[in-house]
Amino acid sequence: MLVSAKEMLTKAKAGKYAVGQFNINNLEWTKSILLTAEELKSPVILGVSEGAGKYMCGYKTVVGMVNGMLEELNITVPVALHLDHGSYEGAKACIEAGFSSIMFDGSHYPIEENVEKTKELVAICEEKGLSIEAEVGSIGGEEDGVVGAGECADPNECKMIADLGVTMLAAGIGNIHGKYPDNWEGLSFETLDAVQQKTGDMPLVLHGGTGIPEDMIQKAISLGVSKINVNTECQLSFAEATRKYIEAGKDLEGKGFDPRKLLAPGADAIKATVKEKMELFGSVGKA
Ligand code: 13P
């Protein structure tokens, strides 16, 4: 059964480790992530962007697929199904469809409007027992057409949003979605520290988990980050393994590629990436 992310993140914050959010795009990714979490006895959050939701036929299909896998793969570790960077309408649609967690990204609105919309969604999530992530200060890079400049959040605005009763807070600290450019200045630990001072026990979320050096990840966890999002790194490992398989031309005997064999190396590559991240984040054995 899907669970809200609240308990797993409260435990992570207290235990000084982070739970990974791995984005899903299809059946193979989902299966790989769930099997790895079960094998490593790690809690896990499955992230779904609005674009990925559309690609997978809509949120109800996603909920049906994930619930089916939890049962048929005998998954016993805590799993949350979470909308990633949701719009106000997207958040409502996911609540309706049966997600156990949502992110409302109101960071592009003026702070008053972000507060207003977040407050309304907090009330709905509270009533239904779902977790909710809010964002202050946009994350840089581009994800599903949403472009951010990588700004650092204002700690006072973070407190305003945290006080609305959200479960977790994503605060921009110079992090970027996708690959970091060569001239990236690194995470702003000064901002993170100030946000953590203002928001106390609130689990903080680090987006753009791909390509952040290990020591920075560990320092961020020590300063209150208890959820880390990873997408691009799974994409890169999946693509590389698939490309190698096609180049080797193994199934080309007049029948084209066997679709199951074609996607198997990519699925294995995702397992390896997820394992590496769970070990780095310290969530292994914490289920
Ligand atoms: P990356 O694609 O950089 O791993 O970021 C993922 C993310 O933050 C999803 O919200």
- Give distance in angstroms: CA of 231 to centre of ligand 1: 5
**DSSP conformation class of 245:** H
Q: Is the minimum distance from the CB of 188 to ligand 1 under 6 angstroms?
A: no
- Give distance in angstroms: CA of 166 to centre of ligand 1: 20
Q: Is the minimum distance from the CB of 199 to ligand 1 under 6 angstroms?
A: no
Q: What is the mean pLDDT of residues 205-226?
A: 96
**In this predicted structure, what is the pLDDT of residue 150?**
61
pLDDT in tens, 13-64: 999 999 999 999 999 999 999 999 999 999 999 999 999 999 999 999 999 9
Find all residues with CB under 8 Å of 244, minimum gap 6, and list them: 265
Q: Measured between alpha carbons, how far is 192 from 263 in angstroms, rounded to an integer?
A: 39
Best residue for ligand 1 mutational test, from 142, 207, 225, 227 (most atoms within 8 Å of Cβ): 207
| Residues involved in catalysis | 84
First vs last C-alpha separation in the chain: 14
Q: Measured between alpha carbons, how far is 257 from 148 in angstroms, rounded to an integer?
A: 39
Q: Measured between alpha carbons, how far is 32 from 107 in angstroms, rounded to an integer?
A: 31
- Give distance in angstroms: CA of 126 to centre of ligand 1: 26
pLDDT in tens, 127-178: 999 999 999 876 666 556 555 556 789 999 999 999 999 999 999 999 988 8
Q: Is the minimum distance from the CB of 138 to ligand 1 under 6 angstroms?
A: no
Q: Measured between alpha carbons, how far is 259 from 37 in angstroms, rounded to an integer?
A: 25
Across the chain, mean pLDDT equals 93
Q: CB of 168 within 8 A of CB of 82?
A: no
Residue 114, pLDDT > 80, answer: yes
Residue 255, pLDDT > 90, answer: no
**In this predicted structure, what is the pLDDT of residue 234?**
97
Q: CB of 100 within 8 A of CB of 82?
A: yes
Q: Measured between alpha carbons, how far is 122 from 127 in angstroms, rounded to an integer?
A: 9
Name the H helices within the chain.
Answer: 6-15, 27-40, 50-55, 59-72, 88-97, 111-128, 155-162, 189-199, 214-222, 232-248, 259-281
Model confidence, pTM: 0.95
**In this predicted structure, what is the pLDDT of residue 169?**
97
Radius of gyration in angstroms for the set of CA atoms belonging to the chain, rounded to a whole number = 18
pLDDT in tens, 84-101: 999 999 999 999 999 999
